[in-house]
Structure 1
Amino acid sequence: MFPSVTHTITPDSEPSQFILPDLTSDCHYPLRKSPHCYAISRASDRWLADVAQLVEPEIRGYLDMDTGALAAACYPDADAFHLQVCVESINWAFIIDDWMESGIIDARGALESCISALRDPINFDTEQVDAKMCKSYFSRFRETAGPGCTERFIHAVELFFTAVAKQVDDRAKGNMYRLESYTALRRDLVGVEPCFALIEFVARIDLPDEVVSHPVIKALEHATIDHLAWADDILSYNKEQSRGDEHWENIVAVLMHDRGLDLQGAMDYAGQMCKDAIRRFESNRAILPSWEEEVDRQVAIYVEGLQNWIVGSLHWHLNSARYGVTPDRIIKLLPKRSS
């Protein structure tokens, strides 16, 4: 069920600015940060140069983005070892997504090499930097991660690459998405599900399959993913529209096309979708089933980890140089780049 908002017709002339939805007012979860944030951020900077082999000017954007701050807010209880693995995994995801977006690497080729590295990070030999990054962080992931958690991480990465490949095909064919089809694709495309396996990794738990497959747990994950995806789309829309590619991968453009909304109407609608995602998260948390005592303890940790991702990711987005959000939430549209 999607939220109801007043529909407005797209005007003949394009607006020069828009107002971002007030995403923080509906997100009341406590924001915490790991005390290891600074040290791990500096280690992450070294990893970007040594393992990801980034140099100026490319490396500058990732240094300024500070994924150490993102991981510190999303995994506030992680020790230094586990937090560093999380940061490197998130760095890899951002880098690989940018490289696929720019055509530096092919999604299907990256799928094959990276999954091979994840399956056997010690013995798999490769010269491909994307797979070397996987070997670097996943060899340490496997030191403490349980078998279920490990398999869930790899499966989620497979879903991400498959979604990217579909997006590339859709773009080549000029396909536009309807709201429902985009929602389904975006859940894999946002690439956050591997980060949910990291919740287990950080806490050194390994949830039973019957728990992670339960409809209520899946509903909690979907609500978390939806909030992350829609908030990311809202905050990245300006940069994407300036590149001319927002029609393929942004909820705001999909809403304008599919619901006949103007830009501000689509922004407001997407903001309501974020609010609805938090409502769904809370309503499903209220009906969590009970298993046995130890499993219930682990489930509580996992659900709090999902909550940390909602609030931690939101505040990181709002403060990251990557997104350029102003305090008054008034965003001037960037001019479209010439082809």
Structure 2
Amino acid sequence: MPQDVRFDLPFSTPVCEHLEYARERHLRWVRERGLVRSDAGFAEYTSWDLPEAAARTYPYASAEDMVWLMNWFSLAFLFDDQFDASQPDRAERIAEVARELIVTPLRPAGSPPQVVCPITLAWTEVWTSLSDGMSLTWQTRFAASWGRFLVAHCEEVDLAARGLAGTLGVEEYAALRRRTVGIHHSIDAGERARLFEVPERVMAHPVMERMRDLAADTIGFMNDIQSFERERRRGDGHNLIAVLRRERGCSWEEAAAEAYRMTTACLDEYLALQARIPAVCDELGLDAEERDRARMGVEAIQHWINGNYEWALTSGRYAAAKDGPVATAEQAGRGSVDDLLAV
């Protein structure tokens, strides 16, 4: 299944006009904060082009906000790459750092981390900008989504450390993938990037809740398909195609076709629910201003579905690995060859 497999998305999203301005500052920040130190790691990191991912998923952010949004992207991706399945003893340290990342939004902005390492220090800095001007309600919602994402990440690490990563069935995997993909808090950040908040009544409505879940499923499954060749080369079983093949005893081609079908089914259901949002606004008796915020909330989801998809088509992070029979740490997809969890 090639990286450039195509999906028919019925909406397009713009790219932030501040991409190049923010890219330069972001790459300097990554170096200065010690998140990517070696030349090899930096070359691999730049091949991912996370700045473009941020510019596509948050197209209306200001120039300065786009910088810290890119910085935030780097933390999530680089933290994910800190676990090496060949070093199961790192699971405890990963969990310790994850707990620190979880509690950071629950403290006053700018509070120094109690678990100190490059990742936690950088997240404390980013959270100060991310939370600026947002209500306590929004901050609490973001913190909950962020916490579920990190807990799921630790569960995945623990499964790998115990040699159980290849035991999940399709339903179990899909439920875990919905959390490890990290889309709920990423959509939440779309409100901060555009300086608005979705009305609480809309956020609590079953239609919106289901839309957010389906967006996470769609994006997670798309990423699995687009990154499949790379992950298969690495022996990474945390991929929908690998799980389907193992559970159903089918060929790789059949598993890939089923993964594609599942992805399009999620997208179709999402689109059907999106069409119901005007009726939800009527049901809730929203005024014009509240309806506008609900509309932007839907657009934030669209930006993530389409923006992430367009970025992943060309990102080096999902490339099917480099030439040659043996991949180095960077070529296998680990952007940092440095330990970012040490003091």
TM-score range, shorter chain: 0.7 to 0.9
- Decide which of 244, 247, 252 is 2:241's aligned counterpart: 252
Distance 1:265 1:69 in 2: 32
Per the alignment, residue 194 of structure 1 pairs with: 185
Q: What displacement does 1:93 show?
A: 0.5
Output the TM-score relative to the length of structure 2. 0.84
Per the alignment, residue 314 of structure 1 pairs with: 309
Paired-residue identity, %: 22
Distance 1:157 1:97 in 2: 14
Q: What does the per-residue CA deviation read over 1:134-185, in whole Å, with 9 as the maximum and x for residues that have no partner? A: 1111111222222222122211221112112222232314251111111111
Please tell me whether the aligned partners of residues 214 and 269 of structure 2 are also in contact (alpha carbons under 8 angstroms): yes
Distance 2:159 2:248 in 1: 20
Per the alignment, residue 298 of structure 1 pairs with: 293
Please tell me whether the aligned partners of residues 32 and 73 of structure 1 are also in contact (alpha carbons under 8 angstroms): yes
Per the alignment, residue 335 of structure 2 pairs with: none
Distance 1:125 1:148 in 2: 23
- Unmatched segments (≥5 aa) in structure 2: 329-343
Please tell me whether the aligned partners of residues 95 and 154 of structure 2 are also in contact (alpha carbons under 8 angstroms): yes
Please tell me whether the aligned partners of residues 199 and 293 of structure 2 are also in contact (alpha carbons under 8 angstroms): no
Output the TM-score relative to the length of structure 1. 0.85
Are 1:116 and 2:142 an aligned pair? no
Q: What displacement does 1:218 show?
A: 1.2
Please tell me whether the aligned partners of residues 244 and 337 of structure 1 are also in contact (alpha carbons under 8 angstroms): no
Please tell me whether the aligned partners of residues 21 and 267 of structure 1 are also in contact (alpha carbons under 8 angstroms): no
Per the alignment, residue 79 of structure 1 pairs with: 62
Distance 1:333 1:29 in 2: 35
Q: What displacement does 1:130 show?
A: 1.4
Could you say what secondary structure the match of 2:250 adopts? coil
Distance 1:21 1:82 in 2: 30
Per the alignment, residue 11 of structure 1 pairs with: none
Counterpart code for 2:102: I
Could you say what secondary structure the match of 1:99 adopts? coil
Are 1:93 and 2:93 an aligned pair? no
Residues 127-206 of structure 1 mapped to structure 2, 5 A cutoff = 127-171=116-160, 172-174=162-164, 176-206=167-197
- Unmatched segments (≥5 aa) in structure 1: 1-17, 326-330
Residues 316-335 of structure 1 mapped to structure 2, 5 A cutoff = 316-324=311-319
Counterpart code for 2:13: L
Paired residue total: 313
Distance 2:36 2:205 in 1: 41
Distance 2:324 2:180 in 1: 25
Per the alignment, residue 48 of structure 1 pairs with: 30
Please tell me whether the aligned partners of residues 34 and 78 of structure 1 are also in contact (alpha carbons under 8 angstroms): yes
